[in-house]
Structure 1
């Protein structure tokens, strides 16, 4: 937020020399092209999130990291407790048990549709707070659920609240970090996204065995409450249009000049109701009418859906084929966690390095972000094939775990590359772009486990995952196609008479 103490307070001073000085200060805030448009006070304006001190950026990114860890952690921490939950409520329905797990991810699909447009009107911070509170309250309430229906509804609402990090975190990083350094920041947050669901089954299995399934929800609710307090105390607003609007409002009050306004308050978007309606439609417009958004979202959704298919079939593989003890089941998810870590670190280093090298040759196209996927994405198929046939033939348990590690490297690095691409290609509408991506990703991630059990039973682990591997392989040419045609496609996009895609940092 642009604090009052950071603004000049001399505009109403009766002394003419001070008033003259105030006039000059006001000029420093105004755009060179329009004397009524309030802008940053030079490139080094301390209120610009890109110019925040290192300690302030670090605190904001640390809070985002924590929230991004807790939100997906909650999605799968309950997985080892599902049998006990179903037994408690006297149900043996396999589809219902899968739904209790996946309904949280379905909440991810719908939350951003409201969160993203609201954030572009009111800023990131209020939406972080609202989502965090909803997540915390509903997760704690899950621990008191007295029916599967009540549990499912509360899980859905908790997922909708927790989706704020999927909708806002990438955009917050783009607000804070320059394009050339964005890959590493995205990798850090991406690591939190992906480590959460990978390590949570281990915690969930031991906690469920020790305290029962209700304490699984109490623990995650406590973690959510801690995140809510941290964000309220430590996080700052980072969305430039909102900061400038607040700055303009304060200057109007100080100077009495009612013509002063931020750039985002001018033109067709100045009508707040109309702007909100457009912002509500924007994610759908970008998803269905923007080829770059549609295909990157589809690619991400495939990787994300495969993760949850894998998570729902791991218990059958390691309990029935390898005869692991239930409380040790969570360890089977660590292969994916290691793959996530390797994929994120490797992808971030490769991505930022490539962007810097191409910039020296005056090639700043956002599509450069997708080129490393030529190497990384095929690892999805390699890992799935290895998992499929080593598990099918009961090869030593380390073999399928290596397969999940290779799979994790490919799937999660793809999520990273597509996320950074959307941020670079759609800077003004990054929240809507990420919301569009989140909708498709979460719908497939939430629905995939509902049919995976049947596929697993009919085809067996070998052919079921071989089929998924072949489907993934069909997407391998996508990075090359985007590199060749992506810029042209973005240049043809229109929404509400405006060019949606301007690849500016």
Structure 2
């Protein structure tokens, strides 16, 4: 267990201050351990003379020996897949709470928009930009942070910690903004800095769990992201009218500060490439042999600046060049756009039509919460008996995780028509709330199946793939609320939701097409896995 602290920010800081005398790796304590990991020289057709190094290592005759042997007992224990269930659970909880905290930062602002309009003297549309700009920021951020986290030299832990640290610091000028331009600039910056967990968090889960159990954890992680926007208006509805919009900023800042402290001590590195890279560095230092390298270093030996830029652009290129990724992300974007447009329609429905107070309007989102709990429970049962039971058996294909999307693709338009046309004074308010609850069938089945499908199909680039998905969701979530007032004021609640429902109907064939032809499309891609 103690070895997990080596790669935490706390552990790395202690090692740096102590000159690597505290929190030493086992191979730093006992040199005989690393000797076992160093490849033996080839004796076939060669005369291998032993040369005594400072550390007693042999002179290796092979060029750039690879030291990535996970079967080595010490390296085996460092493999995130072999960590204890306690550590995996602790890291997963951090990812879920952080995912929740950053997503709630977007929607908790909505109930305070009226206060923003009064404080800064801006229109309703301009006040809505506070939501949209933050969303744009957390959509763009993963496109940079996720590919960086896949670089062996950087890894995931440092990016998680320092971006969250910047996210928290930038909340100060955001919460104390003196005018709207200042507020919007820092909303973009905070969204950008708070974004890594929204995509790279999925990559961290893929790092630790075997493919069968990834399905469970991805569901829980992504559901935490859905609950953030749901709880945001609920909490903000009680907080903003009493304390003002600035207190909505301080609330999630405190939450993320608690996560930051926890991450400082208890978030070790999970990137296998980074673990192997650092081990190779230790072996080079111990042996004095500069040829000892990890596989990633050998692969990057002839990389130019152009190659590095290609890596940084990976999230964009994979999203735009892979048909599976592009269409699935487009579907997820539509879902998030509808969810965020409801942030603007709920006050119109439950405030104007049913006469709810601001606090009561927040409670209306509980329909989505209840629907999420019920649907997620059923979905996890399906994962257990429909995916995990078949995963390690011959004939398993990633497309086998898609059947729940068939139900979700139908539930989305049903929800929009139900919600839109039941929102009338002559119909009890419980009916549109039930309609909003049906939305979660689409969210849970489509989101989780999408994440599982992409994670299984593109395991090497999971973080970049999830980053592209986050960008699509952010673009829709940022733009839909801007035209929501015009949409519902000109068309009305029923016709406006019917328009969205019609768009959702156009997307229904996508999961069916990929269920049938996804395997052929994957095998045409050089980035997707072909062994399933």
Alignment TM-score, normalising by the size of structure 1: 0.91
1:233 aligns with 2:260: no
CA displacement, residues 46-71 of structure 1 (integer Å, 9 cap, x when unaligned): 10001111111111111111101101
Q: Deviations over 1:286-313 (max 9, x none)?
A: 1111001101101110111110011111
Counterpart contact for 2:212–2:391, Cα < 8 Å: no
Q: Name which of 436, 451, 472 aligns with 2:468.
A: 436
SS of the equivalent of 1:474 reads helix
Match of 1:115 among 131, 145, 153: 145
Separation in structure 1 between the aligned mates of residue 448 and residue 72 of structure 2, nearest angstrom: 29
The reply to whether residue 84 of structure 1 matches residue 115 of structure 2 is yes
- 2:496 counterpart of 1:464: yes
Q: Deviations over 1:327-367 (max 9, x none)?
A: 22211111122222333333233234322344365123222
Partner of 1:57: 88
Q: Is the CA contact (8 Å cut-off) linking 2:368 and 2:436 kept in structure 1?
A: yes
CA distance in 2, matches of 1:408, 1:41: 41
Q: For the residues of structure 2 that align with 1:4 and 1:245, how far apart are their CA atoms?
A: 16
What is the match of residue 15 of structure 1? Answer: none
Match of 1:209 in 2: 241
What SS does the aligned partner of 1:46 have?
helix
Shift in CA distance, 52/22, structure 1 to aligned 2, threshold 3 Å: closer
Does the CA-based 8 Å contact 1:183-1:349 persist in structure 2? no
Q: Which residue of 2 aligns with 1:6?
A: 26
Contact 1:187 1:345 in 2 (8 A): no
Contact 1:321 1:394 in 2 (8 A): no
Matches within 5 A, 1:45-444: 45-91=76-122, 93-121=123-151, 122-268=154-300, 271=303, 273-359=305-391, 361-392=393-424, 394-444=426-476
Q: 1:456-486 CA distances to partner (integer Å, 9 max, x unpaired)?
A: 1121111111121121122222122112221
In structure 1, distance between residues paired with 2:25 and 2:433 = 56
Q: Shift in Å at residue 102 of structure 1?
A: 1.8
Q: CA deviation at 1:151?
A: 0.9
Aligned to 1:500: 527
Q: Residue 38 of structure 1 aligns with which residue?
A: 67
Question: What are the superposed Cα offsets for residues 3-59 of structure 1, whole Å, 9 maximum, x if unpaired?
Answer: 742326554xxxxxx6xx86434349xxxx998111244187110001111111111
Q: Which has the larger radius of gyration?
A: 2
CA distance in structure 1 between the partners assigned to 2:294 and 2:508 by the alignment: 44
Greater Cα shift, 263-272 or 299-308: 263-272
Kept in 2: contact 1:322–1:394 (CA 8 A) = no
Task: Give SS of 1:86's match.
Answer: helix
1:162–1:373 CA distance, 2 compared to 1 (3 A): same
Q: Is the 8 A contact 1:392 1:460 kept in 2?
A: no
Whether 1:481 and 2:510 are equivalent positions in the alignment is no
Q: What is the deviation of 1:274? A: 4.2
Determine the C-alpha separation between the residues in 1 that align with 2:139 and 2:177.
23
TM-fit CA distance, 1:97: 1.9
TM-score (norm 2): 0.87
* Contact residue 64 and residue 291 of structure 2 kept, 8 A: no
Alpha-carbon contact 1:139-1:220 (below 8 Å) kept: no
Shift in alpha-carbon separation, 1:203–1:360, aligned structure 2, 3 A: closer
Structure 1: tracts of 5 or more residues without a match: 12-17, 494-498
SS at match of 1:438: helix
User: What CA RMSD, in Å, does the superposition of the two structures yield over aligned residues?
Assistant: 2.3
> Does the Cα contact within 8 Å between 1:117 and 1:280 map onto a contact in 2?
yes
Deviates more, 1:70-79 or 1:270-279: 270-279
Whether the 8 Å contact between 1:180 and 1:356 is mirrored in structure 2 is: yes
SS at match of 1:502: coil
Tell me the distance in 2 between the aligned counterparts of 1:184 and 1:43.
Answer: 29
CA separation of 1:279/1:22 partners in 2, compared to 1, >3 Å: closer, same or farther? closer
In 1, the alpha carbon distance for the partners of 2:98 and 2:531 equals 28
Question: In 2, distance between residues paired with 1:42 and 1:281?
Answer: 33
Structure 2: state its 5+ residue gaps. 1-5, 8-22, 41-61
